[in-house]
Structure 1
Amino acid sequence: MPHLATANTELARHVAAGLQKTPKTLSSKYFYDDAGSELFQQIMGLPEYYPTRTEFGLLTTYRGAITAALRPVSDEPFYLIELGAGDGLKTKILLRELLEQRANFSYVPVDISSGALDGLAASLHAELPNLRVEPVVAEYTAALTLMAARPGRKAVLFLGSNIGNFSPSDRREFLRALTQPLSPDDRLLIGFDLQKAPRLIRAAYDDAQGVTAAFNLNLLTRLNRELGGNFDLAHWQHYTDYDPIAGVVRSFLVSTRAQQVHLEALDQTVDFAAWEIIHTENSYKFTQPLISQLATEAGLEAQNFFTDEQAYFADVVLAPQA
């Protein structure tokens, strides 16, 4: 296999398998190279993209009640563990509230990227110098298993609408894996994007400025760069739609003509028919009964349900069943 594949063997394996499927499929987790991360930052500020600003407002409004639900009743030390902390913008609302309450806690951001954690730790040191920060470079479930050995409550954050990117079966298994190391005294705070007007949801994933289209198409640019591909972006389109029955946004890349694409790192040439698609992302939307059902299936119990005035988004506090 040519040398290009050694730059990212996981990506190479994924693309080799995904482009053999029917329909062809690539995972949304590969959106986030440097250019993709920058585009997503732009998406979060778009007028159509309601999830980020809605959850930010929700956390601001209910920060006292949310932190009270997460911390132990006594003043014993506890850990606030965040899975996929990113830039920490929303989390800092809760961190500041806990510091103002003089809560006895340590913040444990978890990510597989040490670079991302180093950047977050530096910004927290500058903005919140009294905060105890213990970054952990690990996969989510491995980090929780590691933390489970420590005494004290673990309050685990999984903010944003990231839970919606899992298929129903993968979502169930993911939540069960998160729950397994936790004790009945521990807590989870998970963000859920709620079902609402279909046109409003669809617009959030297909904005008028075309930033989301550029974000989706950037995946092909990444394959060209890292796997020696020759995707011609002039002959690809971004397409997305929302299915209100299944409650899911599906995003695709569409080949606008019959074409062949060669990937040097895979030593593979892939045929595309005119208007054939590559499925790149699912984003599921939820209802309160569905969240309660999902919690029960994972061995959890929904304890607090915080939502905004328009019921666009929910942050839900869950506890492992005894």
Structure 2
Amino acid sequence: MITEKTLFAQHVEKGLSSTQKFLSSMYFYDKKGEALFREIMNLEEYYLTDCEMEILRVQGNEIAKAIGNEPLDIIELGAGDGIKTKELLKHFDFENVTYSPIDISEQAIIDITAKMKEWLPQLNTKGICGDYFKMIGDFKSDRKKVILFLGSNLGNMTDDQARGFLGQLHQVMNTGDSILLGLDLIKSEDIVLPAYSDSKGVTAQFNLNLLERINRELGGNFDTSQFEHLATYNEKEGIAKSFIRSKIDQTVIIKETEGSYSFKKGELIHTEVSRKYDLDIIRKIIDGTSLQLKYQFTDHRQYFTNLIFTKI
């Protein structure tokens, strides 16, 4: 059986051996990374969390009415701490609803299940630990369902990846099932860029922790003081990117991959894409599916949107 450690090592070997080096953002979230991301979500510059929280808190009842109150399975992909989701769930008839948060972090599932029992004790919560990308086929059922994909997590995919992912979800949905999608809208650089390069340097720590994780888990010898975080944003395309940049010419050895990796001064490791959207972009992504945009909700600044797509 291939272990998670082996998969991590294989990914690192592939990414650091490529002409344009890369490491996937999915590996940001070890215990330290999760703690740093919680800190990021509370930063003033990181507007995404507050904007979506506002939508779910102020318009949660309208969203719940739009989804409907018949017997329903609510499946949340990448549930996190559940604080935002609680603001939506409290508007449903708990006798008719089963809530299934899915997260790759076992501790996150333990925590959110306990919190939901405290916050909404009558809600039937069934937490699932796993990689939702690999579990999509398990979502198929006869009950009506709504899939929650919040936090603009879709934006961490390329448009082609997002199209494929939504196409997979579409395949396991029945007619009348819905997706509630949270998306960050295209804005000016002075608003977006600080969200990925904050003044306190927490995002830099978060990005560089990926190298520290390689050191801890794979026996790497990265000197993180010789690397730095870099964020860019192309306002015309609506795409923010994160990189780790080498400050000097250097070579790194990783025991688990049995490899050495050379870096030129200024060379980049691409770690994350954060796509921003408008309705034209999202319509192109869902083109070819029978998903139909039914409802749109935005925060008061028009920074963020939650969209309901229904399979027709």
| 3-state SS, counterpart of residue 130 of structure 1 | coil
**Aligned match of 1:13:** 10
| 3-state SS, counterpart of residue 97 of structure 1 | coil
1:51 counterpart = 2:45: no
| 3-state SS, counterpart of residue 8 of structure 1 | helix
Note if contact 1:31-1:218 (Cα within 8 Å) is conserved in structure 2.
yes
Pairwise CA RMSD: 1.7
**Aligned match of 1:119:** 111
Give the Å deviation of 1:230: 0.7
Cα–Cα, structure 1 residues 23 and 141, in superposed 2: closer, same or farther, change >3 Å?
Answer: closer
Query: Among 57, 61, 71, which residue is 2:58 paired with?
Result: 61
Give the Å deviation of 1:141: 5.6
Cα–Cα, structure 1 residues 22 and 34, in superposed 2: closer, same or farther, change >3 Å?
Answer: same
Give the Å deviation of 1:6: 6.5
**Aligned match of 1:169:** 160
Deviations 1:179-213 (A, max 9, x none): 10101210100010000111110011001111111
1:228 counterpart = 2:225: no
Query: Greater CA deviation, 131-140 or 23-32?
Result: 131-140
Deviations 1:249-297 (A, max 9, x none): 0111000110000001111111111111100110000012222222234
Give the Å deviation of 1:144: 4.6
Query: Among 186, 197, 208, which residue is 2:177 paired with?
Result: 186
Query: Among 243, 251, 261, which residue is 1:260 paired with?
Result: 251
TM-score for both structures, normalised by structure 1: 0.92
Quote the sequence identity (%).
Answer: 40
Structure 1 CA distance for aligned equivalents of residues 68 and 6 of structure 2: 41
**Aligned match of 1:87:** 81
Where does structure 1 differ by over 6 angstroms across 4 or more consecutive aligned residues?
none
1:274 counterpart = 2:265: yes
Structure 2 CA distance for aligned equivalents of residues 130 and 275 of structure 1: 55
Cα–Cα, structure 1 residues 261 and 47, in superposed 2: closer, same or farther, change >3 Å?
Answer: same
1:129 counterpart = 2:121: yes
Cα–Cα, structure 1 residues 64 and 203, in superposed 2: closer, same or farther, change >3 Å?
Answer: same
Structure 1 CA distance for aligned equivalents of residues 136 and 242 of structure 2: 31
| 3-state SS, counterpart of residue 291 of structure 1 | helix
1:219 counterpart = 2:210: yes
Give the Å deviation of 1:153: 1.0
Deviations 1:205-258 (A, max 9, x none): 001111111111111110111111111111111111101122110111000110
| 3-state SS, counterpart of residue 115 of structure 2 | helix
Structure 1 CA distance for aligned equivalents of residues 306 and 80 of structure 2: 17
Deviations 1:148-197 (A, max 9, x none): 22x32101100101000001111110110111010121010001000011
Deviations 1:62-101 (A, max 9, x none): 11110111125xxx311111111111010000111214xx
Note if contact 2:136-2:168 (Cα within 8 Å) is conserved in structure 1.
no
Give the Å deviation of 1:143: 4.3
Cα–Cα, structure 1 residues 198 and 111, in superposed 2: closer, same or farther, change >3 Å?
Answer: same
Structure 2 CA distance for aligned equivalents of residues 29 and 142 of structure 1: 13
Q: Which runs of 5 or more residues in structure 1 are unaligned? A: none
Cα–Cα, structure 1 residues 49 and 141, in superposed 2: closer, same or farther, change >3 Å?
Answer: closer
Note if contact 2:167-2:286 (Cα within 8 Å) is conserved in structure 1.
no
Note if contact 1:58-1:307 (Cα within 8 Å) is conserved in structure 2.
yes
**Aligned match of 2:301:** 310
1:283 counterpart = 2:277: no
Q: Which runs of 5 or more residues in structure 2 are unaligned? A: none
Give the Å deviation of 1:103: 5.9
Cα–Cα, structure 1 residues 13 and 143, in superposed 2: closer, same or farther, change >3 Å?
Answer: closer
Cα–Cα, structure 1 residues 297 and 285, in superposed 2: closer, same or farther, change >3 Å?
Answer: farther
Note if contact 1:71-1:155 (Cα within 8 Å) is conserved in structure 2.
no
| 3-state SS, counterpart of residue 146 of structure 2 | strand
Give the Å deviation of 1:61: 1.2
Note if contact 1:88-1:120 (Cα within 8 Å) is conserved in structure 2.
yes
